[in-house]
Amino acid sequence: MHADHTMGVVPMLRNVLFAPSIDPNAYVPVNPPPRIEVYGPAGIRTFIRSILNMTLTKTGEKYIVHELLRDEDVATPCEPPEVLHSSELVGRDIRCSEDGFWRGFTQGVGALGDVVVDAGPILHRDPCLGYIFREPEAPKRKIVILGDTYDPSPILPLCTSPSPSLLIHEATDAHIPREISPQNKRTPEVVLRTALARGHSIPEMAGEFAKTVGAEKLVLNHIGGRFPAPRHGRDERTHVIREIERQATEAWQGSAGGSGRYAMAAWDFMRVAVPAPPSMPPNETHPIESWGVDPSEGLVYVNNKRRKW
């Protein structure tokens, strides 16, 4: 529920749900289905409801919030009906199973079969969740998206067999050697201690978890503000980001790049394709070759392998 992960939800909802019609004769459907369904931890329903109410937001379409609740969590009431926002429908209170996981709490139709979503706890300084999107039938691709964490091992049982096609793991802080970042005064020990104290990871920890679960691809996100996005060209910022990727890659794959696989630091609007195995027929939505261009420099990633542009 930390602000850097939730403050964007309401602006996004306003866009998706549109403004109410100003035409007094406009058709108003009876019991319309929700336009969008939000899933999140305890409190996300109160958060969205409160901000919509306090900002006097009215929308044309309906939304619904389902809360993933641990044993000790208190659900946000949807009763009596007056407590709901005028655009809100009654959501589900989804309790975790005895082992603390939410397995298959929702599913949808994907291009090559159903996609099922699981969630489980990961360790941060406050309660935090990771999510798994998987195909239970062929081709059984699996995407693991973790929130803030200094140790995601509680969610391990959901991350294995099959292992993730793609793991997205935070790397908030990192030690950058003086040769790359001359103004850096922090030792590796200080960086690690600070990251752990704040409940976060360094690239090496992301790489180690990727190795533990046998991830086929690794993308690093939640990179701290002290490591700004590279501008065009090979400047210091670029070298810093490459170093963050190198550290994660080394922990994941052994000597960096030896396997030809690199961890990738995420950038805004990055796309990572997770292709079906070659035995599956390719289609337009799932090309066999995935690729992305790092706009900061002449790098292109093809199936997670780094090549010169």
Number of alpha carbons in the 13 Å side-chain half-sphere of residue 138? 5
**Is the CB of 199 or the CB of 230 nearer to Zn ion?**
199
Which range, of 2-10, 150-158, 190-198, 255-263, touches Zn ion by CB under 5 A?
2-10
**Is the CB of 4 or the CB of 284 nearer to Zn ion?**
4
**Is the CB of 164 or the CB of 199 nearer to Zn ion?**
199
Sequence length of the chain is: 309
**Is the CB of 4 or the CB of 98 nearer to Zn ion?**
4
Q: Which phi and psi (to 5°) does residue 151 adopt?
A: -170, 100
What is the size of the binding site for Zn ion (CB under 5 A)? 2
Looking at residue 24, the DSSP 8-state letter turns out to be: T
Q: Tell me, what amino acid is at 34?
A: P
CA distance 268 to 219: 13
Number of C-beta neighbours around residue 249 at 10 A? 27
Q: How far is the CB of 34 from Zn ion (least distance, A)?
A: 27
Q: How far is the CB of 126 from Zn ion (least distance, A)?
A: 10
Q: How far is the CB of 222 from Zn ion (least distance, A)?
A: 6
Q: How far is the CB of 219 from Zn ion (least distance, A)?
A: 16
71 in contact with Zn ion (CB under 5 A): no
Q: How far is the CB of 49 from Zn ion (least distance, A)?
A: 22
Binding mask 254-293 for Zn ion (x = CB under 5 A): ----------------------------------------
CA distance 32 to 163: 39
**Is the CB of 148 or the CB of 245 nearer to Zn ion?**
148
How many helices and strands, by DSSP H and E, does the chain display? 7, 14
126 in contact with Zn ion (CB under 5 A): no
4 in contact with Zn ion (CB under 5 A): yes
**Is the CB of 267 or the CB of 291 nearer to Zn ion?**
267
Q: Return the beta strands (E) in 187-289 as ranges.
A: 218-221, 264-265
Which range, of 3-11, 75-83, 101-109, 251-259, touches Zn ion by CB under 5 A?
3-11
Q: How far is the CB of 120 from Zn ion (least distance, A)?
A: 18
**Is the CB of 148 or the CB of 204 nearer to Zn ion?**
148
Looking at residue 151, the DSSP 8-state letter turns out to be: B
Long-range contacts of the stretch 258-263 (C-beta < 8 A, 24+): 260/305, 261/217, 261/304, 261/305, 262/301, 262/304, 262/305, 262/306, 263/203, 263/206, 263/207, 263/210, 263/218, 263/219, 263/220
3-state secondary structure 184-211: CCCCHHHHHHHHHHCCCCCHHHHHHHHH
173 in contact with Zn ion (CB under 5 A): no
Q: Find the binding residues for Zn ion in span 134-153 (CB under 5 A).
A: 148
**Is the CB of 12 or the CB of 74 nearer to Zn ion?**
12
Looking at residue 41, the DSSP 8-state letter turns out to be: E
Cα-atom radius of gyration of the chain, to the nearest Å? 21
Question: Which residues of the chain form contacts with Zn ion (CB under 5 A)?
Answer: 4, 148
